[in-house]
Structure 1
Amino acid sequence: MAKEIRLGKGLSALLADAAVAEPREEDYINIPVGSLDPNPYQPRKTFDEEMLRELSASISVHGVVQPLVVSRGGDGRYTLIAGERRLRAARMAGLQEVPAVVRDLGERELMEVSLIENLQREDLSPVEEAVAMKKIMDEFSMTQEQLSRRIGKSRPAVANALRLLTLPQEVLEMMDRGQLTAGHARAVLSVSPELMIPFAREIMDRGLSVREAERLAPLFGLEAPARAPKEKDLFLRNAELEMTRSLGTKVQINGSERRGKIVIEYYNAEDLERLYELLQG
């Protein structure tokens, strides 16, 4: 069985078993752009048109500097593994051929390499990254711990990314449009489910920063006269806000500095597991 490899050394690190070692000279070929089929496991759905035009202009002058990575298909065709943005820009520049490295991969290897390679990219949106993580876990029956080792991310980072998929679809669409960041989304996750969409709209309409959203989250939807007839001690209020930010979920402290109770909310089994691990250190 191939040894598990963390990301950080590029696609070559993902393909480091004997069957797909460092490319040989004969692995480099020029492929007609019409012979390339799209990657069926590409998690990235949106491409910045301005960045594509800039890359296309560069390719028109210098050509495709970094080869694409492809796998052989049937009837002389090839399936793209990595380099879709370069391929789109090359087509935009009118190139008829592109340089590529050929890797002979089975369908399972193609899926795994394609999905994990995309998680290296900093330009994936948070939602695309979370969808890719979930697809890897579902397709290969991985736990969050196994996935974290495979992609070189911490276990809490994986858990926090996957939590985004519990958000309502409208909130996910706001993130895809760039109206909310992952930091905003974590603040939205800290309110009760029925308040998530109104709170996300409030953040967007008021143009709140992540810090402002975090401060507002514990108060959103509460009516001060009905829910807080007596102003809470400043120390306890600050403690609530700090714990809410640290744990990424709503925290309430009831009582006084001498005696009381702390209520930490969670919204699903993964959320509970995440909080358990954080509290266990």
Structure 2
Amino acid sequence: MAGRKSSASNIKMPDVNALFGLEEDTGRLSEKVEDIAIDQLHSFDSHPFRVLDDEKMQETVESVREHGIISPLLVRPGKESGYEIISGHRRKRACELLGLKAVPCFVRSMTDEEATVTMVDSNIQREELLYSEKAYAYKMKLDAIDRVKGRPKKEGQVVPDYLGKKSTEVAAEGSGESYKQVERYIRLTFLIKPMLNYVDEKRIAFGAGVELSYLESEVQELLCQTMQRLCVFPNLAQARKLKESGREGKLDENGMEIILSDEKPAAQAVRLQRKKLNEYFPAGYSAEQIEEVIYGLLKRWRFEQGE
């Protein structure tokens, strides 16, 4: 009947916070802030986010200098000694640069899975993140969800099954991105380091990087060598051809050269005046020789610029 809500609309879908017990409760709202010595604070194990002494860090330093730490760090007791930072690595670094000896922190006992989810969620929406940072962060969160899914947190407790939701759907919650996009980010973790660096530097587009991630590591190594030798980076269409050839087991160095040499759509013609070119080339150079030199220089320049 029109206007009537189905019974399914009354079902509350369990989310990642419900799974890990991360909702705020009265106990946590009354949590006390403790001043902890900086040398007792350690980075989260395999922390995927960069902490750089860049312009944004200087802004954080100035903010802390003027206002102090407005939002205390979130830490948990270390497994051996000190405390492991869950949220606040950049704030801790700003305090170090200011020469502060202690930092205000919330101390919370958390499992590895709870800590991982909280660490990722507190950083994942930063605008300046590299593709690799988001890729490994989502992978860490997904692994944490997969470890705890179906495993009771307490004896006799039933863990939610998400009513058919995929683990990647749960991992995407709160990120502002679809689970399909999260899956694409995680694919990047299958790239070898040089290839992932090219994606971070935007020499290889994100979509092309996802396609190349399906190639075996040794094939990626050979592809990197071929790209460097030819001074080219694959576009999306070429990456898809490379992926397909790799899947069929037909991708060797010769095949890579053929695919990477595929012509791209021609741009509008540019005319160069011979009079100006003569300033840079010997008088005996033919038009073909000049063209060959120019294309070679442009190819090298484009490769070095990452365009």
Paired position in structure 2 for 1:108: 113
Letter in 2 for 1:186: G
Matched, 1:86 2:91: yes
Q: CA deviation at 1:160?
A: 1.3
Paired position in structure 1 for 2:201: 179
Paired position in structure 1 for 2:164: none
80-89 vs 213-222, which moves further = 213-222
> Which whole-Å deviations, capped at 9, do the CAs of 1:53-84 have from their partners, x for residues lacking one?
33223323332232211224479833211010
The secondary structure found in structure 1 opposite 2:122 is helix
Distance in 2 separating the partners of 1:20 and 1:200: 57
2:123 is aligned, of 118, 121, 125, to: 118
The secondary structure found in structure 2 opposite 1:161 is helix
Paired position in structure 2 for 1:159: 183
Map residues 237-252 of structure 1 onto 2, 5 A cutoff.
none
Distance in 2 separating the partners of 1:112 and 1:186: 26
Paired position in structure 2 for 1:61: 66
Distance in 2 separating the partners of 1:224 and 1:88: 44
Matched, 1:130 2:135: yes
Tell me if structure 1 keeps the 8 A contact 2:51–2:90.
Answer: no
The secondary structure found in structure 1 opposite 2:143 is helix
RMSD across aligned positions (CA): 4.1
Paired position in structure 2 for 1:38: 43
Distance in 2 separating the partners of 1:224 and 1:118: 37
Q: CA deviation at 1:125?
A: 1.7
Distance in 1 separating the partners of 2:15 and 2:260: 53
2:25 is aligned, of 6, 12, 18, to: 18
Letter in 2 for 1:153: E
> Which whole-Å deviations, capped at 9, do the CAs of 1:11-31 have from their partners, x for residues lacking one?
xx983153864x32x512322
Q: TM-score, normalised by structure 2?
A: 0.54
> Which whole-Å deviations, capped at 9, do the CAs of 1:21-62 have from their partners, x for residues lacking one?
4x32x5123222222222225221452534323322332333
> Which whole-Å deviations, capped at 9, do the CAs of 1:68-116 have from their partners, x for residues lacking one?
1122447983321101011011101111222222323234322332233
Distance in 2 separating the partners of 1:89 and 1:224: 45
Tell me if structure 2 keeps the 8 A contact 1:168–1:197.
Answer: no
The secondary structure found in structure 1 opposite 2:71 is coil
Distance in 2 separating the partners of 1:29 and 1:126: 35
Distance in 2 separating the partners of 1:109 and 1:217: 37
Q: TM-score, normalised by structure 1?
A: 0.58
Distance of aligned partners of 1:113 and 1:190 in 2 relative to their CA distance in 1, 3 Å threshold: closer
Distance of aligned partners of 1:103 and 1:223 in 2 relative to their CA distance in 1, 3 Å threshold: closer
Distance of aligned partners of 1:156 and 1:111 in 2 relative to their CA distance in 1, 3 Å threshold: closer
Letter in 1 for 2:15: E
Q: Percent identity?
A: 23
Instruction: Flag structure 2 segments of 5+ consecutive residues without an equivalent.
Output: 1-12, 150-166, 242-255, 264-307
Distance of aligned partners of 1:157 and 1:66 in 2 relative to their CA distance in 1, 3 Å threshold: same
